[in-house]
Amino acid sequence: MGGVGRYAIQRLLLTIPMVFILLTVVFLLLRVMPGDPVSAMLGGRNVSAEVLESYRERLGFNRPIHVQYVSYLSGVVRGQFGDSLRTGKPVLHELFIRFPATIELGVCGLVVSVLFGFLSGIFAAIYPDRPIDHTIRIFHIASFAMPLFWLGLMFQVFFAVRLGWLPVAGRLGGRLAFTFDSVTGFYLLDAIIRGDWRSLSDVAQHLVLPSITLGIALTGLQGRISRASMLEVLDADYITTARAKGLHERIVIFGHALRNALIPIVTVFGLQFAVLMGGAVLTETVFSWPGIASYLVRSIEARDYPAIQGSVVFIAVFISAINLIVDVFYSVIDPRVRY
């Protein structure tokens, strides 16, 4: 087995204790938080103590906490996260249904962050200490400082309410929200496969505001890292040598400098998936986006133990997988990296 394969297996093995610790912490925190999940499940209705106790017994909440923990842990090992107290459906099934919506929004948000962050950072590094560089740096600082939920609300007020250019929320509008039959869960992909351009246009319009909101939230860090990395590479001796040989500036920038500047930038891409999932909680809530993050928020509000625990573990495994892919990709962009 090659070095990359051994490294991938080592990372996967390290993920297991990380998920175990995270699951344990979330399990214990939920049990010490004030409130009763059974009362929340019953909608706060006035019910007798006998009814509450019967529900607790049926759901296993009257058992000692260590018994509940072992029972839940054994279910997770078998790939069973339990049933949602709020909907009564298997948690893993509901997560897989909502996963495409979160991925679709996340990928579009990353595309926006690349356009606004990565490219603007590279452009600023090519023209350092000039007005365009100062303007871009101010934009990066502003995008990093603006609260994501406020930015989303401002976009809704201006582009959706006042101008009426784009929809306020959701993934589909009008009759399509009830008649659109998704096969993959990725609405953009489904519309393209079917050649349904009307649905494609509607899906794309609903993606614009949440994608830009999430993308701009990721722009600041990515732009600053891109600029700093590119400036460092442009000051290297081999870049000076390439210019002294008379190479065209475009070849120097994109043929020699950019690839060597990509390693810290790719690292940021991996880290941004964790930031993206945190930002998705606010973005999906503001735009009523039916993804995993909004599912987690509603589960927290309802004190839905199985759904909260399943969502956190699912997100943690997903972020670990993305970081593993990014680490392996290092060897592609930099042959000096060996595992």
Predicted confidence at residue 339, as pLDDT, reads 56
Predicted confidence at residue 44, as pLDDT, reads 56
332, two tokens: 């592609």
| Residues near 249 by beta carbon (within 8 Å), at least 6 away in sequence | 243
Kindly indicate the confidence band of residue 126, based on its pLDDT and cuts at 50, 70 and 90. confident
Kindly indicate the confidence band of residue 3, based on its pLDDT and cuts at 50, 70 and 90. low
% residues pLDDT > 90 (the chain): 2
Q: How far apart are CA 107 and CA 291, in angstroms?
A: 13
Q: How far apart are CA 258 and CA 233, in angstroms?
A: 8
Kindly indicate the confidence band of residue 336, based on its pLDDT and cuts at 50, 70 and 90. low
Buried-state track 268-279, b at ≥16 Cβ within 10 A, e below 16: bbbbbbbbbbeb
Contact 303, 55 (CB under 8 A): no
Return the minimum-mean-pLDDT range out of 51-55, 145-149, 209-213: 51-55
Return the minimum-mean-pLDDT range out of 87-101, 181-195, 245-259: 245-259
49, two tokens: 């103590």
Q: How far apart are CA 86 and CA 91, in angstroms?
A: 10
- Of 21 and 265, the structure prediction assigns the larger pLDDT to 21
Kindly indicate the confidence band of residue 42, based on its pLDDT and cuts at 50, 70 and 90. low
- Of 36 and 112, the structure prediction assigns the larger pLDDT to 112
Return the minimum-mean-pLDDT range out of 2-6, 31-35, 247-251: 2-6
Kindly indicate the confidence band of residue 331, based on its pLDDT and cuts at 50, 70 and 90. low
CATH of domain 91-333: 1.10.3720.10
pLDDT at 149 over 70: yes
Residue whose tokens read 């399509």? 176
State residue 146 phi and psi, 5-degree precision. Answer: -70, 130
For residue 300, count CB atoms less than 10 angstroms from its CB and return exposed for 0-12, middle for 13-18, buried for 19 or more: middle
Query: What is the DSSP track for 196-231?
Result: -HHHHHHHHHHHHHHHHHHHHHHHHHHHHHHHHHHH
Return the minimum-mean-pLDDT range out of 83-97, 269-283, 285-299: 269-283
Considering only CA atoms, which of 211, 202, 204 is closest in space to residue 284? 211
Q: 256 in helix, strand or coil?
A: helix
Q: What is the pTM of this model?
A: 0.80
* Residue 196 C-beta-side C-alpha neighbours within 13 Å: 17
Residues of the chain with CATH 1.10.3720.10: 91-333
In sequence order, which ranges of the chain are alpha helices (DSSP H)?
3-32, 37-41, 49-59, 65-77, 91-113, 119-126, 131-145, 148-155, 176-179, 187-194, 197-234, 237-244, 249-251, 258-286, 292-301, 305-333
